[in-house]
Amino acid sequence: MPLLDNFQIVDKDYKEFIDLKIPDSDLSTIKEVGNHKIIIDDLAQTIYETYPKPEGTDFKINKESDFHTESDIFFKEYRPLSTIYAWLDILKETYPDLVEIEWLGQSYEGRDLKALHLSSQTGLNPTKKTIVMTAGVHAREWISVSTVLFTIYQLLSKYGSSKKETNFLNQLDFLIIPVFNPDGYEYTWTTDRLWRKNRQETYIPRCFGIDIDHSFGYHWTRSEDFPCGESYSGEAQFEAMEAENLDHYVNITKPDHIIYGFLDFHSYTQKILYPYAYSCDEYPRDIENLLELAYGLAKSIRLKSGKHYEVLPACKDRGVDLLPGLGAGSSLDYMYHNRAHWAFQLKLRDTGSHGFLLPSKFIIPVGKEIYSAVKYFCQFILNPDL
């Protein structure tokens, strides 16, 4: 069975690129298409290298006093869903005055969809500004999950010793969903590392999965992709159970919370996207301040690690000029239009050398650069006029 290669097709007159996955037998054909370069020569080996090493798969914490030391080890590798959920339970035990684990519902395959509520005050705090973060919407984007887990740990471990983190948790509520697509994420560990959608049943037998980020109820339209395709939107808005769970969570469970910020973490291409995704013809409200904040996020990353993150409207990243349905039903548009004052989608490293298969050695560097942007975002939410 031939190995699969990952290519970038580059138009010399256009700076963007298209990544393709093809068998070796089609290499001669792709050369006729245009400029290209091989970015992953051995896909199977690259996939293998993203999984934890055999000695790193058994992550356990036996004593609460070992938590801080063991957490350094936790971010050395990507972690499966069961380990992540166990680690969230440990956070609750270690920081009982700062952490609540909330249940949003279940996935199609019966897995719990969990959110962490971080605050220095227990219970509902509707008078406090709320920031919502999501990650792992697309199952194969492991770096998004690890980055949000890194952010959670930084906020908690620095509380009381750092003025900034103490101030954030004293004055803000954080509602964080680190694995938004638990079925799909689990499937990437057991069956198909590059799986994107959830694992929901569709009207075509053996074609499973809805693209959760095409399922939200703002300018939702039925996609042109059929159920076996990666961008299948379902047959109705909120058909993806995870999208419906978030809608219920923010509008029914948290109706009085003032959601000031929404950050949705994805990979890859190093971009900061602002609304709208569904169309480039509609401008978001308060566009000047939205752009100022977006460029502030990019600058904070650049000052931390030197990495460049491009700022642009989500519609241009989605390619709605080619296929309008590609931008429909996104969580970014839905949250910005319905609840959040400020909303962004952050597409993390890299720009194509590894794509969705970013090696685990980048977990901590990416975590650090994105956490600098999260801190900037929090400071802006608290003091938007500064």
Q: Does residue 308 lie within any of the structural domains? A: yes
Domain count, the chain: 1
For position 122, what pLDDT does the model report? 63
Across the chain, what does the average pLDDT equal?
87
Q: Does residue 222 lie within any of the structural domains? A: yes
Q: Residue 23: is it exposed, middle or buried by C-beta count within 10 angstroms (0-12/13-18/19+)?
A: exposed
The rounded distance, in Å, linking the Cα atoms of 50 and 48 is 6
pLDDT class of 33 with cuts at 50, 70, 90: low
Q: Does residue 362 lie within any of the structural domains? A: yes
pLDDT class of 353 with cuts at 50, 70, 90: confident
Which of 217-226, 233-242, 370-379 shows the lowest mean pLDDT across its residues?
217-226
For position 12, what pLDDT does the model report? 44
**Residue 54 pLDDT > 80:** no
For position 14, what pLDDT does the model report? 43
For position 53, what pLDDT does the model report? 74
Q: Residue 33: is it exposed, middle or buried by C-beta count within 10 angstroms (0-12/13-18/19+)?
A: exposed
Q: Does residue 243 lie within any of the structural domains? A: yes
What is the share, in percent, of the chain residues with pLDDT greater than 90? 70
Average pLDDT over residues 238-256: 92
Q: Does residue 79 lie within any of the structural domains? A: yes
SS3 283: coil
Average pLDDT over residues 220-224: 87
Q: Does residue 364 lie within any of the structural domains? A: yes
CATH code of the domain covering residue 211: 3.40.630.10
Q: Is the pTM value of this prediction over 0.85?
A: yes
Q: Does residue 129 lie within any of the structural domains? A: yes
Expressed as residue numbers, the domain containing 133 is 67-382
Q: Does residue 202 lie within any of the structural domains? A: yes
For position 137, what pLDDT does the model report? 98
> Which H or E run contains 3?
none
The rounded distance, in Å, linking the Cα atoms of 338 and 344 is 14
The rounded distance, in Å, linking the Cα atoms of 88 and 83 is 9
